[in-house]
Structure 1
Amino acid sequence: MSDPLVHPASRQIIVREDWLRQTQEPILEPALPIVDPHHHLWAKDHGDYLLPDLLEDTASGHDVRGTIFVQCGEMYRASGPDDEKSLGETEFVTGAAAMSASGRYGPTRACAGIIGMVDLTLGDRVAPLLEAHTAVAGGRFCGIRNRTAWHASPEVTSNLVTPPPGPLEHPAFADGAKRLAAFGLPLDVWAYHTQLPHVIALARAVPELTVVVDHVGGPLGIGPFAGKQAEVFSEWKRRMQELAALPNVVVKVGGLTMYVSGFDFHHRPKPPGSEELAKTWRPYVETCIEAFGPSRCMFESNFPVDKGMCSYPVLWNALKRLAAGAGADEKTALFSGTAMRVYKLDRLPASLAIDLSSP
């Protein structure tokens, strides 16, 4: 049965600002600096999320010093070689980043890092494309992500465009990943828990590449996995521990209120508060932090995708509750340090830098 609150094409939960406003909370640890390492910008049928929308969220109480944009297939060039069309997305986001860096829109440095799209199945041919994106981004290009999340069930999808089933298994993908590593750039991988063996194989095949596993490794809770949370959790945890044994793998901790997760907060009369979210997310978050350690974990918002179930201030409150027992250095890693190091934002020139010093 279709869910009336899920957009039929994007398979994303429809954002309802009036519904989100029903849950208001005081901001926890408002002086804790945050670098949000995973968000999107887009103009879509299911709702725009552009720079003003992002900055409205980042200015909602938490001390968000900077953000990283992650590819989502937006504003591709309308003409030219297919392999170069994704340069349009990098151009689009670079413009938003420049607007933010002017300081006219507040202190947050939005899109200080840009993760774009270069098809790694092109193998050796990725090098000139990486050079082009790097040039276009003006120093902000900090990684790439391909469309890789896939499952055979037509009920399981989270991409606007469904990729072919095997990009991670493509013979040339590892070759492209090696070229990416030579540029010193990490690879973000959005894969469901059923695909984690392929992620493990890739990380082993290219040990010089930093692999960033998005959204805690994608435990599924819809389609054939609906009602099987315990079974899925057991398999997911085992695979994540295997990934954690590989020193070149890092994990983004978040993305747990996407439609594919199987939670149904969006059907409640009111949105969840941070205490309930923290309780729900705790097994996944604690598993990741225990396996990888704070220095290989980074908290993320995944907005606006996760905005269908919770607001930006409530999401970060929940993550702060989950990190309440951590030491100061561990909190710094989780909320900003790991992202700054992995994406090399700590090496940005002064004109583009994220200021993490005390206010």
Structure 2
Amino acid sequence: MADRDHFSGTVDEAWLAGYTEEILEPALPIIDPHHHLWRRPGSNYMFPELLADLASGHNVRATVYEECGSMYRADGPSELRSLGETEFVTGVAAMSASGEFGAARTCAAMVGNIDLQLGEAVDGLLDLHLAASGGRFSAVRYSTAWHPSDLVPKPAPGPHLLADTRVRAGMACLARRGLTFDAWVYHHQIGEVGALAAAFPSMPIVLCHFGSPILGGPNAQRQPEVFEEWREAMVALARHDNVNVKLGALPVRRKGPGREAGGPPLSSTDIAVAWRPFVDVCLEWFGPGRCMFESNFPVQKRWCSYAALWNACKRLAAGASVDEKAALFTGTAARVYRLPGGLT
């Protein structure tokens, strides 16, 4: 099972450092509910790099780690190898919990990976992950994003995995324990998430990345049609009260040169303008209580800084009430990932 946020290209720290913004609403508490830690070609993003971004000036109180295949065990039974990631994240979380690395509690909760095609065997594997994490293991992401076009990355080996009987048996293990399921699908698969939500109405489900509308590749010339397809699917999905949405990780296509042509990083205004129509749909149909902003770092770091990303989220929430902002920036994440009190 390919489980990763698609990542290619490098992060250029010097390029990012050449553009700065004043931090908007610096006192506003934030929980970042979606970031990774990894070592990959062109991208070394571990605890020191995360700490540097958290020091950008935003009031990040805690973070949630999202599985990405980091530090899997090199040997042993295949179904146990993802325990290496849980053990690794737990070590980072323990370092952060000491208070010696700042006030933010990084990896206060984690979304791990278990092969849900193992069906009922998932139950025993959950015991191992929960024990290894010291209680921080609160969700599973099983990436099922798939598209027939060769122009679209395929994290999943095939279509319709959320309807697979073995996967559904594995889902039942999550539901019995009150754990959350993080769904990574493309926009044409959003209906499959709705069917899953109907089958497990008590299980919290988080739709990653707005439901990943495919705006490039085979759809590069039909973006208005894609938006309408996505909007219709999201309106239908919103009928399921157990589904929440992460707002982030959308591509931004702007006028002017990009990095390769000497252009600047994305500004918070660039991001906010591009994401506004999608955010408006999510807030209208799901409400702030079922939405949360995410960073998706270091994937998003190819285009903008951590400071600019969270400034963009604050621009997008500028018209929200105090309570609505609390939900979007901390409350929804704290609820669905069962974060300890005192972090919001």
TM-score class, shorter-chain normalisation, is: over 0.9
Contact 2:35/2:297 (CA < 8 Å) preserved in 1?
yes
Distance 1:32 1:87 in 2: 35
1:248 to 242, 250, 259: 242
Q: Closer, same or farther in 2 for the Cα pair 1:96/1:263, shift >3 Å?
A: farther
Runs of 4+ in 1 over 3 A off after TM superposition: 162-166, 261-268
Q: Residue 121 of structure 1 corresponds to which residue in structure 2?
A: 117
Query: Which of 228, 235, 238 lines up with 2:229 in the alignment?
Result: 235
- 1:131 corresponds in structure 2 to 127
Aligned to 1:27: 23
Residue 344 of structure 1 aligns to a residue whose secondary structure is coil
1:22-63 alpha-carbon deviations (Å, 9 max, x no partner): 221100000000000000000111311101111111110100
Deviation at 1:97, TM superposition (A): 0.8
Q: Does 1:192 align with 2:186?
A: yes
Pairing of 1:257-336 with structure 2 (within 5 A): 257=251, 266=259, 269-336=263-330
**Equivalence for 1:179:** 173
The answer to whether 1:44 aligns with 2:32 is no
Q: Give 1:172 shift.
A: 1.7
- Cα distance in structure 2, aligned partners of 1:334 and 1:190: 20
Distance 2:253 2:214 in 1: 7
- Contact between 1:16 and 1:308, CA under 8 Å: does it hold in 2? yes
Using the TM superposition, give the Cα deviation of residue 169 of structure 1 relative to its aligned residue in structure 2, in angstroms. Answer: 2.9
The alpha carbon displacement at 1:262 in A equals 6.5
CA shift in 2, pair 1:158/1:51, >3 Å: farther
Q: With structure 1 as the length reference, what TM-score do the two structures score?
A: 0.90
* CA RMSD after TM alignment: 1.8
User: Cα deviations across residues 206-254 of structure 1 (Å, max 9, x unaligned)?
Assistant: 1121110000110112221113210110000110111111111000111
Corresponding residue of 1:345: 339
Name the SS of the counterpart of 1:298 in structure 2.
strand
**Once the two structures are superposed, what CA deviation does each residue of 1:139-161 show, in whole Å capped at 9, x if it has no partner?**
111101012111122221174xx
Match of 2:198 among 189, 195, 204: 204
Answer whether contact 2:160 2:192 (CA < 8 A) is retained. Answer: no
Structure 1: unaligned runs, 5 residues or longer: 1-8, 348-353
Q: Which amino acid aligns with 1:146?
A: Y
Paired residues in the alignment total: 337
Structure 1 contact 118–126 (Cα < 8 Å) conserved? yes
Q: Alpha carbons of 1:11 and 1:102: their partners in 2 closer, same or farther (altered >3 Å)?
A: closer
1:158-169 equivalences under 5 Å are: 159=155, 163-169=157-163
Cα displacement (A) at 1:11: 4.3
Structure 2: where are the runs of 5+ without partners? none
Distance 1:47 1:124 in 2: 36
Output the TM-score relative to the length of structure 2. Answer: 0.94
- 8 A contact 1:11–1:157 mirrored in 2: no
1:111 deviates by 0.3
1:79 to 62, 75, 79: 75
Q: More deviation in 229-238 or 200-209?
A: 200-209
Which residue, 98, 104, 107 being the options, matches 1:102? 98
